[in-house]
Amino acid sequence: MQQHQGMVVEELMIKFEFDCRILDHINSWVAFAVSSRMKSLALDIAPTDYFGHTDQYRFPLELLDNGSIFQLRHLKLSFASFELPPQFSGFPNLRTLDLYLLRVSRKDLQDMLSNCINLEWFSMFRCHLNDELTVACPLSKLLYFRVVHCRITKIVLNAAKLKTFIFYGRLYPVDLGDAPNLKHTFLDFYTPVTLEHALTILPKVLPSVQDLTLRASLKMPLLMETSCKFSHLKCLDLWLILDDKEVDNILSLASLLRAAPFVETLGMNFRVFGVPHHVSEPIKSITRCPHNHLKNLHITGFSGTTTQLEFLVHVVESAHALEILTIN
């Protein structure tokens, strides 16, 4: 580091397992990054076995002066914590923010994000606020937003240019504002999701989505009708965990197709728990709803149950433009 003092160093990555005994060394490296006016700083110091560890590195934001704050474009913090110093003005030119195992208060994170007006890429992984995250100022340039395994009760932000949203976690309210450019969404819910929620809430949260992957344990009532539509959805990939009760009502999934009239590619991935009920009686049918745009249907986990066959027959007979049918 001493050999590079006074030289232009644009990127610094610090990568090893955190040990509080070398805290002074880490602080000196961060101070070097500040003095060098770096554009990219990555602090990747999470232990391999991080469960039970509460001694995260305290990232010294107070060391950053206006010059270093203005220069920073990319910031990654893992196994760290921070508190905003008084009169913190944010990172006006920050493009990417990657947070992993970060300990921070709701207010400090919200205030920091509200002052990252040029943020384009934002990821949170195992950052437990145990509270809601509401960003008051619009993130008008945000294109990519990922939330993975975070204990949060609610997310509210305004990201008009958002294109990709990735979420792993428990089901809780998410409001992305008016995001007309949102194209790709991946949702993996730990908690069961009702078909009613999928049909009434998701189209409102994701009105412009074109490519949707949904992984969940789905609770399905009888066939539902809804006025909410995925009016731009073209690719739907469902990964469904079904128990004995739900496996008898797979035909209700036709409601999802009715809510997505322009789907061209449909993937159905079944994971069924319990003893499958194979076809032993005439299969049921429901009123057909034409799926005039569906061209590709791919089903995995097909075990030949009565309701799986009912759903398959319904879709195939309603999709006159179907070109590819794959069943595994």
In this structure, the number of other CB atoms found within 10 A of the CB of residue 12 comes to 18
Beta carbons of 204 and 179 less than 8 angstroms apart: no
> pLDDT digit string (tens) for 129-139?
999 999 989 99
> pLDDT digit string (tens) for 200-221?
899 999 999 999 999 999 887 6
Q: Identify the CA nearest to 167 among candidates 109, 212, 228.
A: 212
Q: Which whole number is the average pLDDT over 26-38?
A: 86
Residue 223: per-residue pLDDT: 58
Could you give the CA distance from residue 284 to residue 30 in angstroms, rounded to a whole number?
66
Q: Which whole number is the average pLDDT over 181-189?
A: 97
Could you give the CA distance from residue 14 to residue 212 in angstroms, rounded to a whole number?
36
Residue 112: per-residue pLDDT: 95
Per-residue confidence band for 8, with pLDDT thresholds at 50, 70 and 90: low
Which residues are bridge partners to 216 per DSSP?
240
At 83, which amino acid appears? E
Domain boundaries, the chain: 1-73, 193-328
Residue 70: per-residue pLDDT: 92
Q: Which whole number is the average pLDDT over 181-187?
A: 97
Look up residue 125 and give its two tokens: 């992984």
| Region of residue 86 (left: phi > 0; alpha: psi -120 to 50; beta: else) | beta
230, pLDDT greater than 60: yes
Of the chain, the percentage scoring pLDDT greater than 90 comes to 60
Residue 251: per-residue pLDDT: 86
> Model's pTM, two decimal places?
0.91
Is the pLDDT higher at 77 or at 242? 77
Look up residue 292 and give its two tokens: 């005039």
